[in-house]
Structure 1
Amino acid sequence: MSERIYATYWLETGDDPRRAADTIAGEQSSGTFVALPTETPELKARSGARVERLEILDTSDEPHLAGGFASNRYTRCTLELSWPIENFGPSLPNLMSTIAGNLFELRQVSGLRLTGLKLPPSFAAAYPGPAFGIEGTRRLSGVTHGPLIGTIIKPSVGLSAEQTAQQVRELVEGGIDFIKDDELQADGSHCPFDERVKAVMRVVNEHAERTGKKVMVAFNLTGDLDQMRRRHDLVLEHGGTCVMAVLNSVGLVGLHELRRHSQLPIHAHRAGWGYLTRSEGLGWDYAPWQMLWRLAGADHMHVNGLRNKFSESDDSVIASARAVLAPVMPEAPMTAMPVFSSGQTGLQAADTYAAIGRADLIHTAGGGIFGHPQGVAAGVEALREAWVAAIEGVPLERHAVRHASLRAALGFWK
């Protein structure tokens, strides 16, 4: 039997729901806006998308999106479509065109959101997925249990390479596990990529020689393919243990090619995610979206953070983290490491741990570390002790009685 791809959507339509579902299935496979004699029954049976499920949920008097069919009633449904693998093969770029292509702008659609995805084994055979994942990240960082305590270089841009290295010096001496470039920091004249890598890795390597602990730094190498390969090789040459790419900027092909070349974990940043998801009636849920990027090779995936500075709800953040920690499919069991960020402090540690039931994650705090009244080292220690309390099930205030840095942090975190 032929392998099939299954995608599930939340659909809102002012048209007859079955007719709208058939229109979407036709548009994304063998059909077009008029019946053609070349789309024979045999061809449609072989290559057409199938409506596997259509369940009516409720109705609304108002549409989510303008520009569609005018109607007095808009029907909301769960729609599941499937496609034969023979239409495009186990190809992530062409999968993207099929499950998330022209269907969003069809006039029959007044709301459409991709909520689920099931892929056949041939995708696992075609794409190796993350090379390092949780196990490799722990090995390279030397953090065998608990979360990686991390931060972001701040200000995001404007520092020179040497100023960046000085900030890194404070962080590594303060006991940090993980540091990343901001996604806005790339290869500008104020802080050229090559100079930044050399200056930062001098600090990291000297600290490792003294202490035995090599801090993981994710250098943002986002660029064209040749630039990313060359930048990766520079990081590797200077003893670095991580590189970072912005997913929506480099695309699936860019990430896959970087994965094929890379000998280091790939820290995947989701900058731009909001335009794909913020409207409840349009775009993607995180769970199906992250599947594609993990197959393409992402070792770390950003999931936002609880009580974050953005608009995403805690329930959405938790669901995203659980998705990243789950296998993409039985044939692709390796998981990626979720990255919690955005307005994070130790106050979120207990709830984060309770929600996902494990500490296989990177918890990055910028202001939550740099703003500590006793300095950067105390900020790192406070965040780490908050996680010790979370894992041991000890209330934060009680744990703080025995830890001065945490006690001082509670004042400014709140």
Structure 2
Amino acid sequence: MSTVSRVVNPSLLRIEADYLLETANDPRSVAETMAGEQSCGTFVSVPGETPELKARSAARIERLEMLDEPVAAPSLPTTARVGPATLRRALVTLSWPIENLGPSLPNLLATVAGNLFELRAVTGLRLLDIRLPQAFADAYPGPRFGVAGTRRLAGVQDGPIIGTIIKPSVGFGPDETAALVQTLCEGGIDFIKDDELQGDGPHCPFDDRVRAVMRVVNDHAERTGKKVMVAFNLTGELDQMRRRHDLVRDLGGTCVMASLNSVGLVGMIELARMSELPIHAHRNGWGYLTRHPLLGWSYVAWQKIWRLAGADHMHVNGLANKFSETNDSVVASARTCLTPLFPDKPCLAMPVFSSGQTVLQAPGTYAALGSADLIVTAGGGIMAHPDGPAAGVAALRQAWQAAVSGIPLDRYARDHRELALALGDAA
């Protein structure tokens, strides 16, 4: 189930969260339990739990909408008694006063996505969306580069930023990596990223890799005037990430990359506060947070946390991908990255399409998204072109030129050899 992300109301003084709830109990009673569990309530009354305290600090049920879809069996394992025809689903919106936690993203997670998933009465619960007061915009930087800054540093003002991933992710040493980067630079690539598995291993130490790659990138920039953006994977502990960032910056690099679920929210917040470069945020591990439709997070809610923390680029998977995600879900994820979080602080992040991308996905992606503000990363879709990587870059760029112009790929390919060969190879 998807939701439409909304720009926050500037006068909003409460945090709001939307949920899809499944339960064998009365949904309103369960919603009241959720509200109490995540604010000032307990399972029994305790001294000091006064009406005044509840009026000031209690979470509220702002909406309860019953759904008619039949539920044959509990979506999640449960110890609750579940009889026939007792399971029901509802859309629930809870709200909390900002005074309960202040504008703190770590404590926000504990509030909107804490013990709720463990409640006995809950046989399914999914966080669909969140809306935050202006105080969060004031407290966190959000993306410092986003779409405009990324385009400026990559030297791409129109159309998508065409990129690829260094493969094999593990096994190449610094010199082999640099040699591949040189081939890609000469082929006209805009963007190159480390694979999420390539960090600081003994076969390819981070420092050696950055120095070798940046020699190639800087030499190419001096000869051509175009500096290719390389997202170096600096994922690590805080001090390591700070030192690695500084090395990339000092050598003239224009991007760093971090694995969100590995560095954690606080790691991302601290990286964004000190970073002078765009942060390419990789979502590896996302499946364990979302794959079950009645557990975890929707991307609409999840990506808001990371954008506000400072992510400039957010992975959204890709159409016809190699994973389990549907095309509709991918497009909804990309759209929400380009949806403002606050009226005076949009916090837009560049969506990153990846996972088995080739020339074939360009028309559908552009038609569905309605924007070319994106990074598209193709591995085999570039490297496996019959005429080599340079032709692969050209073919992908031509496919997007056709898509933006509304010209069918096969017609555009009549006058563009690289695209024609890519279509023949992909068919």
TM norm. shorter chain > 0.5: yes
Q: CA deviation at 1:37?
A: 3.0
Are 1:11 and 1:112, in contact at CA under 8 Å, matched by a contact in 2?
yes
State the partner residue of 1:208: 221
1:53 equivalenced with 2:63 (yes/no): yes
Residues 16 and 413 (structure 1), Cα distance of their counterparts in 2 relative to 1, 3 Å cut: same
Determine the C-alpha separation between the residues in 2 that align with 1:330 and 1:112. 30
Cα deviations by residue, 1:106-149 (Å, 9 ceiling, x for unpaired): 00100000111110000000011000000000100100100000
Look up the SS of the partner of 1:124 in the other structure.
Answer: helix
Which amino acid counterpart does residue 306 of structure 1 have in structure 2? L
**Contact kept in structure 2, 1:68 and 1:110, CA below 8 Å:** no
Q: Does 1:9 align with 2:22?
A: no
The structure 2 residue matched to 1:83, chosen from 87, 96, 112, is 96
SS across alignment from 1:5: strand
TM-superposition CA deviations, 1:228-257 (whole Å, max 9, x none): 010000000111000001111111111111
Match of residue 258 from structure 2: 245
Aligned to 1:22: 32
Q: Is 1:69 the counterpart of 2:107 in the alignment?
A: no
In structure 2, the residue matched to 1:362 is 375
SS at match of 1:35: coil
SS state at 2:332 partner: helix
The number of residue pairs the alignment matches comes to: 414
| Kept after mapping to 1: 8 A contact 2:308/2:347 | no
In the TM superposition, residue 331 of structure 1 has moved relative to its aligned partner by: 3.4
1:315 to partner: Cα distance = 0.4
Q: Does 1:112 align with 2:125?
A: yes
Partners of 2:353 and 2:379 in 1: CA distance: 12
Kindly indicate whether the alpha-carbon contact (under 8 Å) linking 1:2 and 1:84 is maintained by their aligned counterparts in 2. no
The CA deviation string for residues 194-216 of structure 1, in whole angstroms up to 9 with x for no partner, is 00000000000000000000000
Which of these residues, 116, 119, 135, is aligned with residue 103 of structure 1?
116
Aligned residue runs from structure 1 range 117-128, under 5 A: 117-128=130-141
Further displaced range: 188-197 or 13-22: 13-22
- RMSD over aligned Cα, in angstroms? 1.0
Q: Which residue of 1 aligns with 2:315?
A: 302
Equivalent position of 2:168 in the other structure: 155
- Matched position secondary structure for 1:54: strand
Equivalent residue, structure 1, for 2:407: 394
Q: How far off its partner does 1:35 sit?
A: 2.2
Task: Work out whether residues 14 and 68 of structure 1, in 8 Å CA contact, stay in contact via their aligned partners in 2.
Answer: no
C-alpha distance in 1 between matches for 2:309 and 2:180: 33
Task: Find the partner of 1:43 among 53, 63, 84.
Answer: 53
Query: Match of 1:199?
Result: 212
Q: CA deviation at 1:5?
A: 0.1
Residue 122 of structure 2 aligns to a residue whose secondary structure is coil
1:188 aligned counterpart, secondary structure: coil
**Matched AA of 1:258:** L
Query: Is 1:189 equivalent to 2:189 in the alignment?
Result: no
Using the TM superposition, give the Cα deviation of residue 16 of structure 1 relative to its aligned residue in structure 2, in angstroms.
1.2
**CA–CA distance in structure 2, aligned partners of residues 14 and 144 of structure 1:** 54
**What SS does structure 1 have at the residue aligned with 2:368?**
helix
Picking from 75, 81, 93, the partner of 2:106 is 93
**8 Å contact from structure 1 (residues 130, 336) kept in 2:** yes
Instruction: Determine what percentage of the aligned residue pairs are the same residue.
Output: 68
Give the aligned partner of residue 381 of structure 1.
Answer: 394
**Matched residue SS, 2:45:** coil
Residue of structure 1 in register with 2:365 after alignment? 352
SS in 1 for 2:92: strand
Q: Measure the CA separation in 2 of the matches of 1:188 and 1:207.
A: 27
The worse-fitting range, judged by mean Cα deviation, of 250-259 and 381-390 is 250-259
Q: Deviations over 1:23-47 (max 9, x none)?
A: 1111111112222232111111111
Q: Distance in 2 between matches of 1:242 and 1:78?
A: 40
Superposition deviation, residue 333 in structure 1:
1.2
**Counterpart Cα distance in 2 of 1:8 and 1:2:** 15
When normalised by structure 1's length, the TM-score is: 0.99
> 2: distance between equivalents of 1:297 and 1:159?
30
Query: d(CA) in 2 for partners of 1:67 and 1:331?
Result: 44
| Mapped contact 2:307–2:347 kept (Cα < 8 A) | no
Q: TM-score, normalised by structure 2?
A: 0.96
Unaligned segments of structure 1, at least 5 residues: none
- Whole-angstrom distance in 2 between the partners of 1:334 and 1:25: 29
Is 1:331 matched up with 2:344?
yes
Q: Aligned partners of 1:129, 1:413: CA distance in 2, in Å?
A: 39
Q: Return the alpha-carbon distance in structure 1 between the equivalents of residues 29 and 368 of structure 2.
A: 41
Matching of residues 261-276 of structure 1 within 5 Å: 261-276=274-289
Give the AA of the match of 1:218. A
Indicate if the aligned counterparts of 2:57 and 2:96 stay in contact, CA closer than 8 A: yes
Contact 2:127 2:297 in 1 (8 A): yes
For structure 2, list consecutive stretches of 5 or more residues without a partner in the other structure: 1-10
Deviation at residue 2 of structure 1 after TM alignment: 8.0
Residues 267-323 of structure 1: CA deviation (Å, up to 9, x unaligned): 000011000000001011101110110000000000000010000000000000000
Paired amino acid for 1:24:
M
